[in-house]
Structure 1
Amino acid sequence: MIYRWLLCLALAVAFFSPATRAASLHEGWQEVDGLHLFYREGGNPKAPTIVFLHGNPLSSIMYARVMEELAASQPVHVIAMDYPSFGYSDAPDHTSYRYTFDHLAETVSHFLKLRGIERYALYMQDYGAPVGFRLISANPRAITAIMVQNGVIHLDGFPTAQDPDGELRRHWLQRNPAVDARRTAYIHALSFPQAEHWSDEDHAGADATVQMIAAFQRPGVIEARNDLWFDYGSNVARYPAWQARLRSLHVPVLVLWGKQDMFFTTPGAEAYRRDAPQAEVHILDSTHFATLDAPDQVAALLGDFFRRHHDELRR
């Protein structure tokens, strides 16, 4: 009887402890400019906020494990949203929503305002970097820290875009229907994860892959994403301005990079030191999706970073 009472007490303490409550993310949809955008959120809203901006082609699901671990171990508030047409967010037709990075950043900015978030640290991966650096440029005083993982603002880490006469740069200057057609065919060919005839080269995992395929194969989404990829050239044109902005900021900077990423390569990580000498750079034996492939390692590095810069994050 006493043993059972103690066991119930232990379970109750574990269930209702602050760490356990913080570790539980809640999910929902925020209406933004007529769209319902899915988000994940955890921790104490009065604590320093970390906004996670996801990359392509995944969504906020790529951060769930890391966000849970941070909320359980650090006095922080964590939040991540899915962009329009990504994850569980609405997917308006590309004729009714402009799929450009300027517009995505505007949507994210409106989302943060509606959630009452005015000052925050940014964690950016892949597409999250050009979205995030637009936010930084628009309101640098809102930023308490910058964290980048496999997201470029230097051509050093973007080998397929280095040749001005290469296919990508030409496509961004004058849209090539053949590029759109290849991307469309690739999406239509994606198959359900299974034991045979399925490859997970980036170690995103089956759950994130299923969600990505389901979101991507909704009506009109591939056209929207092709519009967004065509607009990527606007990011490359802004790299010098973003580098200058980074040089003007004096906030903590952390760069994490999965060295197995063949699209955004490790020179892109080291390039951040040119503009932010204070940057802490960690090259991980991981992939483009390090938060899914090595979540414990990423969470540990972020936890150490936040502990050392806690006072700066609270300013």
Structure 2
Amino acid sequence: MRLLACLSLLLMCALAQPASASSLHEGWQSVDGLNIFYREGGDPKDPTVVFLHGNPLSSLMYVKVMESLATARHVHVIAMDYPSFGYSDAPAPAAYTYTFDHLAQTVDDFLKARGITRYSLYMQDYGVPVGFRLMTLHPEAIAAVMVQNGVIHLDGFPSAQDPQGELRQHWEHRNPAVDRRRAAYVRSLGYPNASHWDDEDHAGPDATLQMIAAIQRPGIIEARNDLWFNYGSNVQRYPHWQALLRRLQVPVLVLWGNRDGFFTTPGAWAYKKDAPQAEIHILDSTHFATLDAPDAVSGFVGDFLARHRPALQ
């Protein structure tokens, strides 16, 4: 009986303990008829950081960084998967127009549904054009800007610098051959294993498997091709976004994996043109630095947020 009582007491104590501060909770938020998957952690009363993921991954790329910030830095963190990415609903292109304007509107409606009106942005790759649209819609909501391997200048985008190059021409006049090539690549992707594995960007097998499963759903490569065709609208807006960043004058942090062959390090330094206050850190990492070097990213982001905390409320 004494042993049973001790065991019961231990169980009650364990149940009474609060969940680890490092844990994130996950769920789906109904947004405009879609179920948008999200990860969230920390106290909503603390300054909020909204993480906007890149292509072709999802909020999974931020888990380690988000856990670190919520645990050690007293920051409220949240990240969602865009439609057709990660665990969010994947409507067919006939039901959801896959443009960056529409993605940004969905993210904006998600934040409204979660009651988030003041936040800092952490943006990578596709997250940058989504985030700058949010900044355009609600400049008063933005407390700080953090960018990782994502551009608003052609300086760091060598494959888009030539107006006559394949990318720029595709964005001007959609090339069916580009769509077919991208679709064939997606169909060629297989289950990660020892004999079928190439991880140049160090995303890791878990994120890679989720990416493959998401993009190989019926009709989704067509949706992603629509979104890639629409990427040209972002390049057209670079001058506007540069001017917006000059006007905002908020704290700016730029982190950049120097082993990214698509968005190169001149793109990091280019932010200084419009935000002289920007802090630039070049990491010995890849396009997906939050997966390849999460401790380094967490350190830089945590220190940045701590130094600017009064401005983040």
TM-score interval for Structure 1 and Structure 2 normalised by the shorter chain: over 0.9
Partner SS for 1:52:
strand
Contact 1:22 1:44 in 2 (8 A): no
Q: Is the 8 A contact 1:54 1:62 kept in 2?
A: yes
The equivalent of 2:3 in structure 1 is none
Contact 1:29 / 1:39 at 8 angstroms: preserved in 2?
yes
Q: 2:90 corresponds to which residue?
A: 91
Deviations 1:92-134 (A, max 9, x none): 0001100000000000000000000000000000000000000
1:256 partner SS = strand
1:218 and 2:240 correspond: no
- How far off is 1:208 after superposition? 0.3
- The answer to whether the Cα contact below 8 Å between 1:259 and 1:285 also exists between their aligned partners in 2 is yes
The alpha-carbon distance between structure 1 residues 14 and 269, as it changes in their structure 2 partners (threshold 3 A), is farther
The equivalent of 1:3 in structure 2 is none
Match status 1:133 vs 2:128: no
**Distance in 2 between the 1:53 and 1:264 partners?**
17
Matches within 5 A, 1:1-315: 21-314=20-313
Instruction: State the 1:22 CA deviation.
Output: 2.3
Amino acid of the structure 2 residue aligned with 1:78 = V
Q: 1:299 to 1:17 in 2, by over 3 A?
A: farther
RMSD: 2.0
SS of the residue corresponding to residue 23 of structure 1 reads: coil
Check 1:308–1:13 CA distance in 2 against 1; reply closer, same or farther (3 A cut). farther
Give the TM-score, by structure 2 length: 0.95
| Partner Cα separation in structure 2 for residue 15 and residue 306 of structure 1 | 33
- Mapped contact 1:15–1:21 kept (Cα < 8 A): no
Whole-Å separation in 2 of the counterparts to 1:9 and 1:117: 40
Distance 1:252 1:115 in 2: 24
Shift of 1:274: 0.5
Residue identity in the other structure for 1:298: V
Amino acid at match of 2:141: A
Take 2:270 and 2:9, find their aligned partners in 1: how far apart are those partners?
Answer: 53
**Identical pairs, percent:** 72
CA contact (8 A) 1:156 1:271 kept: yes
Shift of residue 243, structure 1, vs aligned partner = 0.1
Give the ranges of 4+ consecutive aligned residues of structure 1 lying more than 3 Å apart after TM superposition.
8-18
The amino acid of 2:152's aligned partner reads I
* Alpha-carbon separation, structure 1, partners of 2:105 and 2:229: 18
Separation in structure 2 between the aligned mates of residue 13 and residue 73 of structure 1, nearest angstrom? 24
Q: TM-score, normalised by structure 1?
A: 0.94
Contact preservation (8 Å) 1:43, 1:76: yes
Letter in 2 for 1:191: G
Deviation at 1:14? Answer: 9.7
Offset of 1:13 from its aligned partner? 8.9
Aligned equivalents of 1:15, 1:208: Cα separation in 2: 32
Q: What is the alpha-carbon distance in structure 1 between the residues aligned to residue 143 and residue 9 of structure 2?
A: 40
| Alpha-carbon distance in structure 1 between the residues aligned to 2:16 and 2:219 | 44
Residue 12 of structure 1, CA deviation: 9.6
Q: Shift of residue 143 of structure 1?
A: 0.1
Inter-CA distance 50–15: structure 2 relative to 1 (3 Å threshold): farther
**Could you tell me how far apart the structure 1 residues matched to 2:197 and 2:216 are?**
18
**Per-residue CA shift, 1:74-95, capped at 9, x if unaligned?**
1110000000000000000001
CA distance in 2, matches of 1:275, 1:11: 57
Taking a change above 3 Å as real, the CA distance of residues 11 and 145 of structure 1, as seen in their structure-2 partners, is farther
Amino acid at match of 1:112: L
Q: CA offset at residue 16 of structure 1? A: 7.0
1:11 Cα deviation from its structure 2 partner:
11
In the TM superposition, what is the alpha-carbon distance from 1:191 to its structure 2 partner?
A: 1.3
SS at match of 2:20: helix
Query: 1:270 and 1:142 mapped to 2: Cα distance?
Result: 25
